[in-house]
Structures are given as C-alpha cells and as structure tokens.
Structure 1
Amino acid sequence: MRLHVEEAGVLGRGAWLIAGAVVVACMMLVGPSTPAGAPFARTVPVDAAKDVVPNRVMTWNMCNPCDESNVERAAEIAAYAPQVVGLQEACVRDVERIRDHLANLHGLDYHVEYGPVLRNWSRCGGAPWRPGGYGQAVLSAAPMTDVVTAEYPDGGSEDRGYIAVTTEVAGQTVRVFNTHLAQRRQEEVRERQTAVLAPQVAPYERAVVLGDFNAVPDSPEMSPMWALAEDMDAGCRPPAAGACEPTTDWQSKYDYVFLRGLSALGHEVRPSRFSDHHLLHADVAAR
C-alpha cells in the first residue's frame, strides 16, 4: 500500500496515526518472517553458514529419548557444516525438522535418507496406532543413490540396523554406511552384527562407515572393521587403543568415522550439551 503526501503539513496528527495503523494491519496480515510462521520459503540470518564443507563427514548419536530441541540439534550440526552426517537414535519427524531448520536458519540444504528399524511411540511420538519411525538417517549436501536399509537378524535388546547410500564426498563417489550396534554388555550380538556389516563394506574401494558401535576399539567384535578400514584418528586402533579419544560422557570411545580408500586431513571430537555422545567429524581426501 502506498500513501501519497503532497505537502509536509497537509497530513495532521490524526492522519499519520491512521497511516500507521494501516501499516501495522498489513504487517499482521502478512505475518512474521520467522521459521515458525514465515510466509517466505527461507529465512536466513546474516551470520548463516555460506555452504557445507565439501570434504567433511560427521557422525552423531543424538540421544533418544531426550527432551532436546531440534533447533538446538540443527545448530550443533550447522556449527561444523559437514558434507555428510550420519545420525543415530533418530526419529523421522525429528530429522525432517532438523533438515528444515538447517535450511531456514543456517542456509544449509541437505538431502535426507532414512533407515528406521522400528516404530516406537515412547521414543518418537505419533499416534498410538502409528508411532514414529526410529533408527538411522543420513544427510548429504549431494544427492544420494542406491539406498539400502537393513535390519540386523539379531538386534539384541532392541532392533538395530544400518543404512547405506552412494553420494559425493571431496569430489569423489563414496559409499557411506551409518549404523548403530547393540547396546552395552551384548558383545556376542555385536559380533554377529559386524559380521553382517563388514562384507557389505568390503566391495567398495572408497567407503565411509559412521556410527555408534557401542564397543571400545580393542573389543573382539570390532576386528572385522579394523581389517577393512582406519578410524579418522590414524593413531586410534588396536593395540594402541588407549590413545583413542573418548566419544561419550562416560569417557569411552563408542563412536567411529571409519575410512576406506580415504585419508583424514584433520579430525575433531566435540562434546555436546544435547547428547551423551560427542560429535565426531573428519575432513577427508581420496588416497
């Protein structure tokens, strides 16, 4: 709406009040430009991340059930802006919101693939007769193809599985796996799970295996992974497992970024206020 003023003194105080009321009314009709009710498709703050780091991969067990905000989870991911991130203990609805917050609040656009292994109302909400999907998810700045989701034949005390995708990392085509193994004190179950996962990784010249393995590096069930790949920290592997940096609040290394046919140029383990697992990321290059 445009107001034409011919003379500075023509409009009196009352007219200016009317004009102001019209502007306020228009703003109320349009609505606020916020992510919750924005009429605009995208609202990016001035300090938004410009782009993802093209050679960075990350893994994060988000903690579930935990009463955390998806806005805060998105901010944790955006702080490192990985090319690819694997999330564990992920509810489909939460990841959908995280992806939206990454786009609307941080200017980061991701493709998403989901690998739910069960539907669980207590963890993911939803209608009692149709609870939300729970499991793994992969976010990638580049498109993903050849998506495979699999549930381990034996999940232990809770269904577990993996998701695999083909995408681009550091300008290379890479097969990315994201997994979550059986809970602590279920070593024999995890041994059967890595026996399923490792042969799926082996055919690929370049692969990244992300996830929460619920096992310290020198556990017997981790042997198939060490035979195939290196951790993002080249100094972390048996028998020198004592040098591995903890990835959990209870000072154990349970989370891994395994690299096959790729080398880590740098890596970081960062504690999070929003999970009992730390965020791990590595910048990689093809060998």
Structure 2
Amino acid sequence: MLGRGTQLLAGALVLACMVLVGPSAPGDTLFARSLPVDAVRDVVPNRVMTWNICNPCEESNADRAAEIATYAPQVIGMQETCVRDIEGIRDYLKRRHGLVYHVKYGTVLQSWGRCGGVPWSPGGFGQAILSAAPMTDSVGVEYPDGGSEDRGYMAVTTMVGGRQVRVFNTHLAQRRQEAVRAKQVRVLATAVARHERAIVLGDFNAVPDAPELSPMWALAVDTDAQCQPPSIGECEVTTDWHSKFDYVFLRGITPLRHRVQSTGHSDHHLVYADLDPA
C-alpha cells in the first residue's frame, strides 16, 4: 500500500494538473448529454449557426458538442472560444455523433486566465469556424481598437448548400462601447462589401437599431425576417438578458428559415438559419 505521504503527493499532483488545464473541460467524460430523439442525424448542407459559447464558464465541451449535433449545421461560427475547447468539441462531434468538421481559428488573444494552459504556453482565445467542407483563404484580422479587450473578425471560403461562399465570424466590443463598435463595424463592412455572396456570423453586442450597425444593414439582411430596418420589428432575443446581440447576416443569399434556441450551456442562445444559396 502507498504511504500517507505518497498519497498526499499524488493528490497534490492531480490537483496541480487540474489547475494547469484550466476551466475549459470540467467533467466532459462524465456528464455528456444525449441527443433528443428528433435531433438531426447528419450535417444539414444549407444550415449555418452562430454561437457565443461563454468564456470563462464552467461548461462541458461534451454538452456543447451535443447542442451543436442536435442541429448539425454545415458551418458554425463560434465566439469566446479557447483553442482547446474547440479541439474538444470537434473531437466529441466526431467520436460521439459521427459529425466531421474542419476548423479554422481567429485567435486574437493568448489568455492563460481564460483558457488555462501554462504561463509559457497559454491557450489561444477568440473566434473559430467549423465547416463540414474544407475551408480556404482563411484570414484573421484584429480590429485596430478592441475596446476593453482585443477583438477581431475572421473569414474563410467554404461550401454552403453546394455553393461557394465567403463566411465571416466576428465578436465586437463589449456593451457600452458604442463608439468602438462603430469603428469595428466599418472595418468589417469594408471587407464584406468586396464579396457579392457572403455570410456574416457573430456576436455584435448591439441591438438591431443601434446606430453603429448601420453599415451592416446597408450591405446585408438578417435571417430573422421580423427584424429588418428601417422600422425594426419584433426581433427574437438571443441572450439571457433578453437582447438580440447575435446575427446571421446574408449578402446575396436568401434565408429560408431562422431559429433561436435557448441553451443552458451559455448566456447566449444558439442562432441558426437554413439558406437558399441559389
């Protein structure tokens, strides 16, 4: 039998390893949620999703993967992501749900506090895009002014509904930083305007009639048919604090169906849309 001193040392080593790994994967192997009976069984080729997964939050990547697998979009834009979280989510999607995704990262911050890791090799924090089809021409852009935290956008070219399209994913400055977001939207809109067909996913941290979103509304429509300028209608909320901050903007593409699904695994809801790429 092990002596008491050896047991204490082993326990201390386990605890140290848990601290170094960080908060990104608590209980993943123990509390995986099974899919509902009406869950999608394969990737839906014309479906796109945006989801701010909340970070730092004590959530299971197995549960996050199960949420995504329920709706199985072709493309997912995720915000507030750590690289190790996305690696875990993608692994669960493949091993437990048979859904294979490619991944690209739009890391804007190396954050030990948010993403765990070790001080000399902190986890990357920012955005990520998962796509069932390969992605090309990936770019990551950090906004000149991130506000209270570094922010940016990423873009890839991939297939949605059998057609090639440019997909953007962004996370704008936090609430009460309207002037900063206005500058960020101008940078993003300039990039989106170069493409006749584009999908812009993300957490814009602004309600639909916020003045800083005007450049996006001039270029694209949101998939929520009830939520369009000039007179904003009944916009479906996408956050736990009853605001619409999350968007699926379309340029040169027609929306077919829009849905917001609340989840217990983030303070933002899942937002997804089925599109008519033709």
- Structure 1-normalised TM-score? 0.83
State the Cα distance separating 1:179 from its structure 2 match: 0.1
What SS is found at the alignment partner of 1:250? coil
Match of 2:271 in 1: 280
State the Cα distance separating 1:129 from its structure 2 match: 2.1
Give the AA of the match of 1:130. Answer: S
Instruction: Select which of 258, 271, 284 maps to 2:262.
Output: 271
User: For 2:156 and 2:111, how far apart are their aligned partners in 1?
Assistant: 24
Match of 1:81 in 2: 72
Give the AA of the match of 1:240. Answer: S
Retained in 2: the 8 A contact 1:49–1:107?
Answer: no
User: For 1:221 and 1:122, how far apart are their aligned partners in 2?
Assistant: 30
Give the AA of the match of 2:55. Answer: N
Match of 1:10 in 2: none
In the TM superposition, structure 1's runs of 4+ consecutive aligned residues that sit over 4 Å from their partners are none
Match of 1:20 in 2: none
What SS is found at the alignment partner of 1:245? coil
Kindly tell me the number of residue pairs found equivalent between the two proteins: 245
Summarize deviations over 1:204-243 as a string: whole Å, max 9, x none.
Answer: 1110000000000011110000000000012212233241
User: For 1:59 and 1:159, how far apart are their aligned partners in 2?
Assistant: 20
Match of 1:187 in 2: 178
- Highest Rg: 1 or 2? 1
Retained in 1: the 8 A contact 2:160–2:277?
Answer: no
Give the AA of the match of 2:95. Answer: N
Alignment of 1:1-287 (within 5 A): 50-287=41-278
User: For 1:49 and 1:186, how far apart are their aligned partners in 2?
Assistant: 39
Match of 2:18 in 1: none
State the Cα distance separating 1:109 from its structure 2 match: 0.2
State the Cα distance separating 1:155 from its structure 2 match: 0.1
What SS is found at the alignment partner of 2:71? coil
Sequence identity of aligned pairs in percent? 69
- Structure 2-normalised TM-score? 0.85
Summarize deviations over 1:76-99 as a string: whole Å, max 9, x none.
Answer: 000000000000000000000100
Retained in 2: the 8 A contact 1:184–1:215?
Answer: yes
